[in-house]
Structure 1
Amino acid sequence: MPAQAGRWGRFSEHQARQLQRQVQAKEERIVELEMENAVLHLRLAQCRGMTGEAGSAAAGLCPRCLEQDPPRRSTPPAAPQLHRRVQKLKQDIKALRASSLAAFRACWEHLQDGLSAVEAAVQGAQLCHQALLAWQSKVGQLERSLQEADARYQLEKQKRRVLHNRLVELKGNIRVHCRIRPLLPFDKEFGDPASQDSSVPAGVVHAIDDETVLVKCAQPAHPLINKTYNFERVYGPEESQQVVFGDVCPLLTSLIDGYNVCIMAYGQTGCGKSYTMLGPHSKEERIPPWGPHSDLGIMPRAAAELFRLIAENPSRRLQVDLSIVEVYNNNIFDLLAKARGMAASGCRREALTTKDARREVPLLTREPVHSAEDFVALAARSLRLRAELATLVHARSSRSHLIITATLTRGPAAGGSPADQQAERPPLEGRPASGSRGGASCGRAPAGSPGAQQPKEQVHAKLQLVDLAGSECAGVSGVTGSALRETSFINRSLAALADVLGALSERRGHIPYRNSQLTHFLQDVLGGDAKLLVMLCVSPCRKHVAETLRCLGFGARARQVQRGQASGGSPAPRKPR
Structure 2
Amino acid sequence: MPAQAGRWGRFSEHQARQLQRQVQAKEERIVELEMENAVLHLRLAQCRGMTGEAGSAAAGLCPRCLEQDPPRRSTPPAAPQLHRRVQVGVQKLKQDIKALRASSLAAFRACWEHLQDGLSAVEAAVQGAQLCHQALLAWQSKVGQLERSLQEADARYQLEKQKRRVLHNRLVELKGNIRVHCRIRPLLPFDKEFGDPASQDSSVPAGVVHAIDDETVLVKCAQPAHPLINKTYNFERVYGPEESQQVVFGDVCPLLTSLIDGYNVCIMAYGQTGCGKSYTMLGPHSKEERIPPWGPHSDLGIMPRAAAELFRLIAENPSRRLQVDLSIVEVYNNNIFDLLAKARGMAASGCRREALTTKDARREVPLLTREPVHSAEDFVALAARSLRLRAELATLVHARSSRSHLIITATLTRGPAAGGSPADQQAERPPLEGRPASGSRGGASCGRAPAGSPGAQQPKEQVHAKLQLVDLAGSECAGVSGVTGSALRETSFINRSLAALADVLGALSERRGHIPYRNSQLTHFLQDVLGGDAKLLVMLCVSPCRKHVAETLRCLGFGARARQVQRGQASGGSPAPRKPR
TM-score by length of 1: 0.85
Match of 1:21 in 2: 21
Q: Answer with 234-243 or 142-151: which moved more.
A: 142-151
1:416 to partner: Cα distance: 7.4
Matched, 1:480 2:484: yes
Counting only pairs closer than 5 Å after superposition, residues 179-258 of structure 1 correspond to structure 2 as 179-258=183-262
Question: Could you tell me whether the CA contact under 8 Å between 2:515 and 2:571 is conserved in 1?
Answer: no
Distance 1:254 1:88, change over 3 A: same
Give the distance between the partners of 1:58 and 1:569, measured in 2 at CA. 166
Distance 1:360 1:398, change over 3 A: same
Q: Answer with 70-79 or 547-556: which moved more.
A: 70-79
Give the distance between the partners of 2:350 and 2:525, measured in 1 at CA. 19
Identity among equivalent positions (%) equals 100
1:323 to partner: Cα distance: 1.1
Deviations 1:221-258 (A, max 9, x none): 22222211111111111111111111101111111111
Question: Could you tell me whether the CA contact under 8 Å between 1:180 and 1:538 is conserved in 2?
Answer: yes
Match of 1:383 in 2: 387
1:343 to partner: Cα distance: 0.8
1:324 to partner: Cα distance: 0.9
Distance 1:89 1:193, change over 3 A: same
Give the distance between the partners of 1:256 and 1:17, measured in 2 at CA. 80
Kindly tell me the number of residue pairs found equivalent between the two proteins: 577
Q: Helix, strand or coil for the counterpart of 1:364?
A: coil
Moved over 4 A (4+): 1-85, 411-422, 425-450, 564-577
Deviations 1:501-547 (A, max 9, x none): 11111111111111111111111111111000000001111111111
Deviations 1:416-443 (A, max 9, x none): 7776554345878996569999999999
Question: Could you tell me whether the CA contact under 8 Å between 1:332 and 1:517 is conserved in 2?
Answer: yes
Distance 1:135 1:394, change over 3 A: same
Distance 1:8 1:273, change over 3 A: farther
Distance 1:298 1:528, change over 3 A: same
Question: Could you tell me whether the CA contact under 8 Å between 1:530 and 1:567 is conserved in 2?
Answer: no
1:103 to partner: Cα distance: 2.0
Q: Helix, strand or coil for the counterpart of 1:436?
A: coil
Structure with larger Rg? 2
Q: Answer with 383-392 or 50-59: which moved more.
A: 50-59
1:466 to partner: Cα distance: 0.3
Question: Could you tell me whether the CA contact under 8 Å between 1:367 and 1:445 is conserved in 2?
Answer: no
Match of 2:519 in 1: 515
1:4 to partner: Cα distance: 8.4
Q: Answer with 145-154 or 11-20: which moved more.
A: 11-20
Gaps of 5+ in 1: none
Question: Could you tell me whether the CA contact under 8 Å between 2:531 and 2:570 is conserved in 1?
Answer: no
Give the distance between the partners of 1:7 and 1:467, measured in 2 at CA. 82
Give the distance between the partners of 2:432 and 2:409, measured in 1 at CA. 17
1:277 to partner: Cα distance: 0.4
TM-score by length of 2: 0.84
Gaps of 5+ in 2: none
Q: Helix, strand or coil for the counterpart of 2:433?
A: coil
Distance 1:574 1:560, change over 3 A: closer
Question: Could you tell me whether the CA contact under 8 Å between 1:176 and 1:232 is conserved in 2?
Answer: yes
Question: Could you tell me whether the CA contact under 8 Å between 2:351 and 2:446 is conserved in 1?
Answer: no
Q: Helix, strand or coil for the counterpart of 2:269?
A: strand
Question: Could you tell me whether the CA contact under 8 Å between 1:402 and 1:468 is conserved in 2?
Answer: yes
Deviations 1:427-476 (A, max 9, x none): 78996569999999999989995632234112111111000000001111
Question: Could you tell me whether the CA contact under 8 Å between 1:365 and 1:445 is conserved in 2?
Answer: no
Q: Helix, strand or coil for the counterpart of 1:407?
A: strand
Question: Could you tell me whether the CA contact under 8 Å between 1:428 and 1:460 is conserved in 2?
Answer: no
Distance 1:528 1:415, change over 3 A: closer
Q: Answer with 343-352 or 556-565: which moved more.
A: 556-565
Match of 2:331 in 1: 327
Question: Could you tell me whether the CA contact under 8 Å between 2:361 and 2:577 is conserved in 1?
Answer: no
Give the distance between the partners of 1:452 and 1:225, measured in 2 at CA. 56
Deviations 1:178-222 (A, max 9, x none): 111111111122222211222121111111111111111222222
Give the distance between the partners of 2:247 and 2:4, measured in 1 at CA. 63
Say what the alpha-carbon RMSD is for the aligned residues.
5.9
Give the distance between the partners of 1:51 and 1:146, measured in 2 at CA. 113
Q: Answer with 65-74 or 103-112: which moved more.
A: 65-74
Question: Could you tell me whether the CA contact under 8 Å between 2:441 and 2:457 is conserved in 1?
Answer: no
1:405 to partner: Cα distance: 0.9
Q: Helix, strand or coil for the counterpart of 1:368?
A: strand
Give the distance between the partners of 2:123 and 2:579, measured in 1 at CA. 57
Distance 1:438 1:204, change over 3 A: farther
Question: Could you tell me whether the CA contact under 8 Å between 1:514 and 1:520 is conserved in 2?
Answer: yes
Q: Helix, strand or coil for the counterpart of 2:446?
A: coil
Question: Could you tell me whether the CA contact under 8 Å between 1:258 and 1:568 is conserved in 2?
Answer: no
Q: Helix, strand or coil for the counterpart of 2:131?
A: helix
Deviations 1:49-99 (A, max 9, x none): 999999999999999999999999999978667756733333332232222
Give the distance between the partners of 2:438 and 2:97, measured in 1 at CA. 107
Distance 1:576 1:74, change over 3 A: farther
Q: Helix, strand or coil for the counterpart of 1:75?
A: coil
Question: Could you tell me whether the CA contact under 8 Å between 1:366 and 1:442 is conserved in 2?
Answer: no
Distance 1:77 1:446, change over 3 A: farther
Deviations 1:475-518 (A, max 9, x none): 11000111011111111111111111111111111111111111
Question: Could you tell me whether the CA contact under 8 Å between 1:173 and 1:565 is conserved in 2?
Answer: no
